[in-house]
Structure 1
Amino acid sequence: DGEFVLTTYGTMRLDSAKLADIRWGMVVADEAQHVKNPYSATAKQLRTIGARARVALTGTPVENNLSELWAILDWTTPGLLGRLGTFRTRYARTAEGGDPAAAERLASLVRPFLLRRRKSDPGIAPELPPKTETDRTVSLTAEQTGLYEAVVRETLTAISDADGFARRGLVVKLLTALKQICNHPAQYLKEQEPRIENRSGKVELLDELLDTILAEDASVLVFTQYVQMARLLEQHLAARGIRTQFLHGGTPVAEREAMVNRFQSGEAPVFLLSLKAAGTGLNLTRAGHVVHFDRWWNPAVEAQATDRAYRIGQTQPVQVHRLVAEGTIEDRIADMLARKQGLADAVLNSGETALTELTDAELADLVTLRGGTR
């Protein structure tokens, strides 16, 4: 009575039988996106622990598709949304397809069981300074344009002759290749000793941004989803005499803490971060700028990363810069994300998995290079 047990998901999995022997008054799942896959071992073991009340806490209830929202609510409120297959048919497909009426039907069903707050809500974080978000478009270089058009031409031909899993694999491979080309040719070509200067519109724009930011004695977070791209930037900035550090999935816990301390103390004004490894759990309020070097399919993941700087304790305005290669797939993805933001109460984007289901004509329209190159 009056006591509680605090544990991790990993320990809970190992000791679920012991925990299930106790009738708990309440079980709280923090960072509940860790149980968004109902078939994972973590989600299955969590369901074996009985409680009079269950509460899920998360900043990203939907990261890829609405099945994740179903998984969380089916744990907190079993049966509310029915079986997963029925839920997908009745609600998810139409809502994810952009039907506002379907999204509202789903929102009205789950609304009584959700308490949602944003930092922008009155009284939640009145001390937070303003945040400005800007999409900064860049043109591809001639080298990037040639690579981009060649990859589109060759891969669309292969895709037209494939089906099933082979076709889906080719689509994902195409999307990844185009995003890498938009970043820098050396990343796509996997060059061992790359020449970095004058080959990427994004790198040129980043240099301009950093010149301005560092001249103001400010600090900046630079997020990329690709470790290889971060390594290229690390090499490039070192050659320019700019102090950086790079945090990725392989960084030991103790070194992560040391990196955070160095950044917060101003020793290294440019912090390169892997989006997946550093998107949560870090307090980096020295940064007044956040750069998303490449776009993730999901605005919620980008927002979580931005919140490493825009969080309680931040005293300076935060400027968010999203780099977008003009006329490319990144342009199209940015438009898709912007259109779907209006459905955020019930729907976020469906990620690259949904793009694998596009028809050949729709896929060609998505990836074909348009104007804006040089």
Structure 2
Amino acid sequence: MPVLARAVRDVESRAQRGALNHDQRMRFQVIGLMVREERNRVKADTAMSEAVRAEQLKRLDGVATILAKTATRDPSLFTLLGEDVVLSDEARALRREMLAAAGLGQSPTEAVADETFSDAPAPIEKRVVPQSVISRQLSNPFLAPDFSSAAPREPQYGRLSTWELLGPLFTSFEKASDGAPSCMKLPDPNGLMTPSGRELMKHQAQLVEAAADGHRTFLLADEPGLGKTAQALLAAHAADAYPLLVVAPNVVKANWAHEVELWTPGRKATVIHGDGHTLDAFADIVIINYEVLDRHVDWLGEMGFRGMVVDEAHFIKNKSSQRSQQVLQLADRVRARIGRPLLMALTGTPLINDIEDFRTIWQFLGWIDDKKPRAELMGALEQTGLTPLDHGFYSAARQCVIDRGIVRRRKVDVAADIPARRIADLPVDLDDEIGRSIQQAERDLVARMLRRYASAAEARSSGPSEGIDAELVRRVATWEREDTAGSKDEENVFTMMRRIGQAKAGLAADYTAQLARSVGKVVFFAKHIDVMDTAEAAFKQRGIGYTSIRGDQSKTAREQAIDRFWNDPDVKVIVCSVTAAGVGINLQVASDVVLAELSWTDAEQTQAIDRVHRIGQDKPVTAWRIIAAQTIDGRIAELIDSKAGLAARALDGSDEEIGSSVDVQLEALVTLLTDALVERAA
């Protein structure tokens, strides 16, 4: 009830200030449906006393009254509460968040329902066309199809035309496997340097070379940590597949924009948030997350994309889901305009439940349709001279599919290309209300320091000086840290980082869940108990087995948790406190670590990673560091890395390193103020 009460008051206050936007209309809908569900639950609860039941119903009536008053301002809101209303993916996600905030989980039936998204069309009111898209359409109103690379014509089928082939094709991956990864033959690369001057690993360069040679469809199923994002971006560069559409989970879409800057800096990327108000429709690469795809599917199909990448493609395994249908629709429209577009499905987990999880991915790539193989694959099957009754058919059919573009490499197979230990930063967007409040708090902090710097500069006897006074910057940062260290009214760096950690918790848990499904065991590190609690709730909701190590555990409980992680195949994640589990334990049964919150020193971070990267580890180790984009989080990560690098490179006996959280706070404030002064002077 407290969660519903806060949410409905928020919607009411927004409605009093003007028309509700899409997010608030969705919140109104979810609150109304949850009130209805809770009312039915309370009435059916025979264990509840009449007095308690009456009190609960009275409180629910209060929430319903506020909803009704809000709807009188906009009667169209009533349509969102119809008995036959279909909840969007985004609304389901909000409902899960509210349940989690109330300390409630989903029933198994509800969890399955949320996995099996409705195939009903998205409500018309959700479809949008950003102004930037309209501008692009007006600049080029006659976008003509491009058939310079003609798609293969559907053949006149011969002896296999009457056979049901999709079942045997799926079965071929079970019957005919020789134990080796399924991987097409890839060409030797001509070089390992990229246009940006960065060096590729050999296995990455092989795929890029295949795209340069004219191959246009790939199921890229490399294990996590082998650089699938870089390969996709460079394949698009090699194939000149621009504009390029990237569909990705929300947790990694900021990382895609970051990777574009690293690997193809000459190309501009734009990320679609919400209704797309900040979209640059003239960009080379458009990045969108599954959750908002339904709002934009109409205009995306008219953009003339020459390539399309679907990241974490196992998200579309359920063909009847709304997002799967939208991805397939977009792929068909891309093919209709471009004869042979670049189509790439990226996933470290091509199979989740059974072999037919391949179906939607293959259809997205254009290898099959609803009933049969399409032209290229059917032609290859015909050339084998075999039918499903022949002994050698399954092995030959499997190879025919692999040759269409399945690429699968494991860390252990390309270990010579990979550092024994690496830290990969994964930027995430905090584009919800909490994220916006954190960004505003950071702006307020910078403005406060700028005023203080200007006042101090004016007060000096010598008067203001030319340029930036580095000594005064450090003094102002010191004053700011000392004045706000114990303040309850103003944000300081420590409290801001605490809030950022809380805001990242769900996104970090989402990414950990994806890793757990693809690589197996994963170690999740956090600094604060509430972040650990949020992560554990997310794993429980997704049916992922987990255990944890906390500071308040007994020695016996800790040993039991470690033993379960090592020996129970159903326990995929161990949730660890950095302070309680950062030293003295061995977790090298895993090779992937997720750092949900930044450590204050490189030493603390290294200690956590070394729980996995230690003697007995036979795989390369990857630590995934979750960074909140466009916040102080990124600056502190850079600061810690630069100080650690300085210590490692020192040749004069100096081992300078940030030694405490106080030092980090001070250095972060110095960096913030210096950047603001530089920007103001520009």
TM-score of the two chains, using structure 2 as the length reference = 0.30
C-alpha displacement of 1:158: 7.4
* One of 223, 235, 242 as aligned partner of 2:544: 242
Specify whether residues 169 and 357 from structure 1 end up closer, same or farther in structure 2 by C-alpha distance, changes over 3 A only. Answer: farther
Do 2:522 and 2:592's aligned partners in 1 also have CA atoms closer than 8 Å? yes
Cα distance in 2 between the residues matched to 1:143 and 1:269: 32
Do 1:155 and 1:170's aligned partners in 2 also have CA atoms closer than 8 Å? no
C-alpha displacement of 1:331: 0.5
Q: Does 1:174 align with 2:492?
A: yes
Instruction: Indicate the SS of the match to 2:593.
Output: strand
Cα distance in 2 between the residues matched to 1:324 and 1:359: 15
* One of 531, 539, 542 as aligned partner of 1:229: 531
Instruction: Indicate the SS of the match to 2:486.
Output: helix
Q: CA RMSD in A?
A: 3.4
* One of 617, 629, 645 as aligned partner of 1:314: 617
Do 1:220 and 1:270's aligned partners in 2 also have CA atoms closer than 8 Å? yes
Do 1:132 and 1:319's aligned partners in 2 also have CA atoms closer than 8 Å? yes
Do 2:426 and 2:626's aligned partners in 1 also have CA atoms closer than 8 Å? yes
Structure 1 window deviating more from structure 2 (237-246 vs 334-343): it is 334-343
Instruction: Indicate the SS of the match to 1:145.
Output: helix
Residue type of the alignment partner of 1:309: V
Cα distance in 1 between the residues matched to 2:608 and 2:634: 21
Specify whether residues 132 and 274 from structure 1 end up closer, same or farther in structure 2 by C-alpha distance, changes over 3 A only. Answer: same
Q: Select the structure with the greater relative contact order (CA < 8 A; seq sep ≥ 6).
A: 1
* One of 132, 142, 146 as aligned partner of 2:436: 146
Instruction: Indicate the SS of the match to 1:169.
Output: coil
Do 2:513 and 2:544's aligned partners in 1 also have CA atoms closer than 8 Å? no
Q: Does 1:297 align with 2:600?
A: yes
Q: Does 1:334 align with 2:334?
A: no
Specify whether residues 164 and 297 from structure 1 end up closer, same or farther in structure 2 by C-alpha distance, changes over 3 A only. Answer: closer
Cα distance in 1 between the residues matched to 2:632 and 2:668: 16
Specify whether residues 228 and 212 from structure 1 end up closer, same or farther in structure 2 by C-alpha distance, changes over 3 A only. Answer: closer
Cα distance in 2 between the residues matched to 1:281 and 1:365: 40
Find the counterpart in structure 1 of residue 660 from structure 2.
351
Cα distance in 2 between the residues matched to 1:365 and 1:142: 28
Which runs of structure 2 are paired with 1:117-266 in the superposition (5 Å)?
A: 130-153=420-443, 165-170=482-487, 174-185=492-503, 200=504, 203-204=506-507, 206-216=509-519, 218-266=520-568
Structure index of larger Rg: 2
Do 2:601 and 2:658's aligned partners in 1 also have CA atoms closer than 8 Å? yes
C-alpha displacement of 1:151: 2.7
Do 1:152 and 1:367's aligned partners in 2 also have CA atoms closer than 8 Å? no
Q: Does 1:270 align with 2:573?
A: yes
Find the counterpart in structure 2 of residue 325 from structure 1.
628
Specify whether residues 208 and 366 from structure 1 end up closer, same or farther in structure 2 by C-alpha distance, changes over 3 A only. Answer: same
Cα distance in 2 between the residues matched to 1:359 and 1:286: 36
Structure 1 unpaired stretches of 5+: 1-128, 186-199
Cα distance in 1 between the residues matched to 2:628 and 2:433: 14
Cα distance in 1 between the residues matched to 2:668 and 2:509: 35
Residue type of the alignment partner of 2:556: A
C-alpha displacement of 1:250: 0.3
Specify whether residues 240 and 253 from structure 1 end up closer, same or farther in structure 2 by C-alpha distance, changes over 3 A only. Answer: same
Cα distance in 2 between the residues matched to 1:205 and 1:359: 23
Equivalenced residue count is 226
Cα distance in 2 between the residues matched to 1:259 and 1:240: 20
Cα distance in 1 between the residues matched to 2:518 and 2:666: 47
Cα distance in 1 between the residues matched to 2:507 and 2:439: 21
Structure 2 unpaired stretches of 5+: 1-418, 453-478, 649-654
Specify whether residues 315 and 321 from structure 1 end up closer, same or farther in structure 2 by C-alpha distance, changes over 3 A only. Answer: same
**How high is the sequence identity, in percent, across the aligned residues?**
24
Instruction: Indicate the SS of the match to 1:269.
Output: strand
Do 2:446 and 2:676's aligned partners in 1 also have CA atoms closer than 8 Å? no
C-alpha displacement of 1:307: 0.8
Do 1:224 and 1:273's aligned partners in 2 also have CA atoms closer than 8 Å? yes
Specify whether residues 356 and 273 from structure 1 end up closer, same or farther in structure 2 by C-alpha distance, changes over 3 A only. Answer: closer
Instruction: Indicate the SS of the match to 2:506.
Output: helix
Specify whether residues 365 and 243 from structure 1 end up closer, same or farther in structure 2 by C-alpha distance, changes over 3 A only. Answer: farther
Cα deviations by residue, 1:58-114 (Å, 9 ceiling, x for unpaired): xxxxxxxxxxxxxxxxxxxxxxxxxxxxxxxxxxxxxxxxxxxxxxxxxxxxxxxxx
